[in-house]
A and B are shown apart, each in its own frame.
Chain A
Amino acid sequence: MNFIVTRPEHDMTTKYLSAWAGEIIGLAEIKKIRVIDLRRVKANQNDLIGRIKKLDPKLIFLNGHGSDDCISGHDNKILIKVGYNHQILQKRITYALSCNSGKILGQKVTEDNTSTYIGYSDEFIFVGDSNYITRPLEDPKAEPFKESSNQLMVSLLKGNSAKEASERSKDKFKDNIRKLTSSLADINSLQIAQCLWWDMRHQVCLGNIEAKL
């Protein structure tokens, strides 16, 4: 089995998402799953489309900025766009850790009822700490966002269905929200909980939700 991951790293947001995805790559390697890691400038349309056509992966993990109808790669160059190349994601499971693409792109990709698209129907918001910008994995404020999002990929790689993976991710969001709201000793806890709540509410699992690896 193999999967493709895109990891642009051109600003604070993409550097955080890339670092989080690095943990998933590590987990996949332990499980002897081959990962095609399109990182930094490799996160471009030509490389992505070429690899999908060549390897026909069942799972695609897209990290980066997005809008209603597209997902971008390094330097915000478009990777996948509705009406241009969105069909390349069909008959696969896609998890898009990006803003808004669950709204239109995800709907279009899953029109064929054989495809699965998990993403966010509005902004994916997270909280971080300026003292950890160069060390995202050590950032305690960002940790619950990483945990909750990564749970989705962890579940998929364990063989759970897309529906189960999304539910487990949402359960992790809830766990973190509960922890933060039950102990408001940290002055930032409420804001972090609010953003987690927002992300959880906007995570969508579309199309063939019973699909699994």
Chain B
Amino acid sequence: MEKENNKENFLADEEVRKLVIARLKVLSPDTIISLGSEGGFSRDELVKDVEEGNKVGEKLAEVQMEWLRSFKENITV
């Protein structure tokens, strides 16, 4: 997974970081998320990635923020 220079650094915002971690912590412990070539990650690994603010954590934050933006933009499915 290549990170582009112009991508936002969501996890620099402490509130976003807390939100993403809180969302992850409610998942069942046997949940795995496959993030492309980065591989599959357990819930606890993902929490650690978000805490560290690495690229896996950033991608999860981006997914979360895009979802929230869809409500702001009133995009419905």
Q: Which residues of A contact B (CB under 8 A)?
A: 11-13, 16, 65-68, 76, 98-100, 123-131, 133, 141, 173-174, 177-178, 187-188, 190-191, 193-195, 197-198, 201
Residues in chain B near residue A66, CB distance under 8 A? 36-37
Q: CB within 8 Å of A: which of B11-42?
A: 23-24, 26-28, 30-37, 39-40, 42
B77 touches A194 (CB 8 A): no
Nearest CB of A to B31, in Å: 6
Residues in chain B near residue A67, CB distance under 8 A? 2, 37
Residue B2 contacts which of A68, A177, A178 (CB distance < 8 angstroms)? A68
Residue B59 contacts which of A123, A130, A141, A190 (CB distance < 8 angstroms)? A123
A123 touches B1 (CB 8 A): yes
Residues in chain A near residue B30, CB distance under 8 A? 129-131
Size of the B side of the interface (Cβ < 8 Å), in residues, is 25
A198 touches B31 (CB 8 A): no
B33 touches A125 (CB 8 A): yes
Residues in chain A near residue B36, CB distance under 8 A? 13, 65-66, 98-100, 123-125
Q: CB within 8 Å of A: which of B55-77?
A: 59, 63-64, 66-67, 70, 77
With contact pairs A99-B36, A125-B36, A198-B66 given, residues A178 and B28 touching in the complex (Cβ less than 8 Å) = no
A187 touches B27 (CB 8 A): yes
With contact pairs A99-B37, A127-B31, A130-B32 given, residues A187 and B2 touching in the complex (Cβ less than 8 Å) = no
Which residue of chain B has the shortest Cβ distance to A187 in the bound complex? B26
Residue B32 contacts which of A12, A174, A178 (CB distance < 8 angstroms)? A12
